[in-house]
Amino acid sequence: MISRSSGLSLYRQVADAIRQQILSGELAPGSLLPSEKYLAEEHDVGRDTIRDAMAHLRGEGLVESKRGYRSRVRALVPRERIWLHPGEIVTARMPTPAEKKEHGIHEGVPVLVVGDKAYPADRYEFGRE
């Protein structure tokens, strides 16, 4: 339930509520969220507040949004494993716009970087044998 006197911002409270539903499995991977308009009325806040909450959930990689369609809970796909060669270093960062477009990377999905190659972190993992 949204409280206007809890000290926590409304969009965070909404984001927390939806995140909890996702992590608990109440909202299954791949399932559609209610529309922003519905959520705004349900929680009795403005649509902009819902959009703020959705933007944060997208940034966490929990949901994906597409114009003209309701937002969807992101579904996890099995990651392809790549074995590191001796001397290789792996780190991570957010993708550049060019990398997002090139690999079709969703919001809230980082890339793993090895050398000068970037691998979408929702589809790859690196291991040492």
Partner DNA sequence: CCCAATTTGTACGTATGTATA
Partner DNA sequence: TTATACATACGTACAAATTGG
| List of residues contacting a second copy (CB under 8 A) | 16, 19, 55, 59-61, 79, 81, 84-97, 107-112, 121-122, 124-129
Alpha-carbon distance values, 83 to 28, 124, 125 (Å): 31, 11, 9
Contacts with DNA by CB under 7 A lie at 7, 9-12, 33, 35-38, 45-49, 51-52, 54, 65-71
Nearer to a second copy, 1 or 89 (CB): 89
Q: Give the residue with the Cβ less far from DNA, 72 or 79.
A: 72
State the nearest-atom distance from the C-beta of 75 to a second copy, in Å: 14
How many angstroms separate the CA atoms of 86 and 40, rounded? 53
Q: Provide, rounded to whole angstroms, the least separation between the CB of residue 91 and DNA.
A: 26
Q: Which residue has the tokens 């993992």?
A: 125
Instruction: Return the one option of a second copy, DNA, none that residue 94 interacts with (CB less than 5 to 8 A, by type).
Output: a second copy
Nearer to a second copy, 1 or 81 (CB): 81
- Name 92's Cβ contacts closer than 8 Å, sequence gap at least 6: 110, 111, 112, 113, 121
Q: Is 127 exposed, middle or buried (0-12, 13-18, 19+ CB in 10 A)?
A: exposed
Cβ of residue 84: shortest distance to a second copy, in angstroms?
4
* Angle 30-36-15 from CA coordinates, rounded to 5°: 70
